[in-house]
Amino acid sequence: MIYLCRHGQTFHNREGRLQGRIESDLTPLGQAQARAMAALLDDLAPAAERAYWRLVASPLRRARHTAEAIGERLGLGVDFDERLVEIDVGEWSGRLREEVRGENPHLHGDDAWGFYAPGGETYEVMTARLGAWLAEQTAEPERRLIVVSHGVAGRLLRGLYAGLSKEETLRQDIPQDAVFRLASGRIERIDCAPVAEPAEHA
C-alpha cells in the first residue's frame, strides 16, 4: 500500500511560477497543508502498525519539509529518493506560467506542454525513472509506504500505477490538501480537513 502526497503550497506555486527542480519554500498555507496531511495520515496509518511503515520523499526542499512534518507527527524518519523529484522544466524554471504560455500559443490546450521546455525532461524519460521506482515498490505488495512527491511526478506515479494513457494521466488533479491511497490496483483520493490560510506578519 502506498499513500501518495504532494508537498504543500510554495511561494512559487502561489505566484504561478514553474518550479521544476529549483527550490521554493512552503508558504504559511503550505505548512498548514503539510500538518493537515500529517494529521490525516496519523489516522490512516494506525499507531499499532507504525513500525511497518516507511516514509520516503523527493529530496527537493518543499517535499522534504512536508515529509518532515508528517514524520514528526507519525514518529517516522524520512528516506529520500532522487527518482521522486519533479519534472525538470529546463529554461522555463522559475518563470511565470502565463508568461511561458503567452510566448507559446501553439501549446494552448496541450496537457503535455510542460514537457516541451527547452533543455527540460521528456515524458518518456520521466516515466522511465518513476516507473523504475514504482516497480521496486510493487514487487513487494506487503510494503507500506508514505510518499511525498510533486504535482507532475504524482500524476505520473498514479497514471503508471493505474495503467492510464498519457492523456488520462496528465488530466489528473494535483491537490495539495489530499492523500491518494494506491492499493490493490486502485487509487482512492482522501481529502484532508480544510485549513485556513494563516495570516502573514511583516
Per-residue pLDDT for 37 more than 50? yes
Given 7, 12, 65, 150, which residue is catalytic? 7
Has residue 139 got a pLDDT over 90?
Answer: no
Burial class (CB in 10 A: 0-12, 13-18, 19+), 103: exposed
Is 188 catalytic? The answer is no
- Is 98 among the residues known to form the active site? no
Q: What percent of the chain has pLDDT over 70?
A: 99
Check 65, 86, 121, 150 and give the catalytic one. 86
Model pLDDT for residues 66-98, shown as the tens digit of each residue: 999 999 999 999 999 999 999 999 999 999 999
Segments of the chain assigned E as strands? 2-6, 53-57, 78-80, 144-149, 178-183, 186-191
Q: Residue 202 pLDDT more than 50?
A: no
Confidence (pLDDT) at 140: 82
Question: For all residues of the chain together, what is the average pLDDT?
Answer: 94
Cβ–Cβ under 8 Å, residues 178 and 9: no
Greater model confidence, 157 or 46: 157
Q: What is the pTM of this model?
A: 0.94
Residue 200's pLDDT is what? Answer: 66
pLDDT for position 134:
96
- Per-residue pLDDT reduced to its tens digit, 115-126: 999 999 999 999
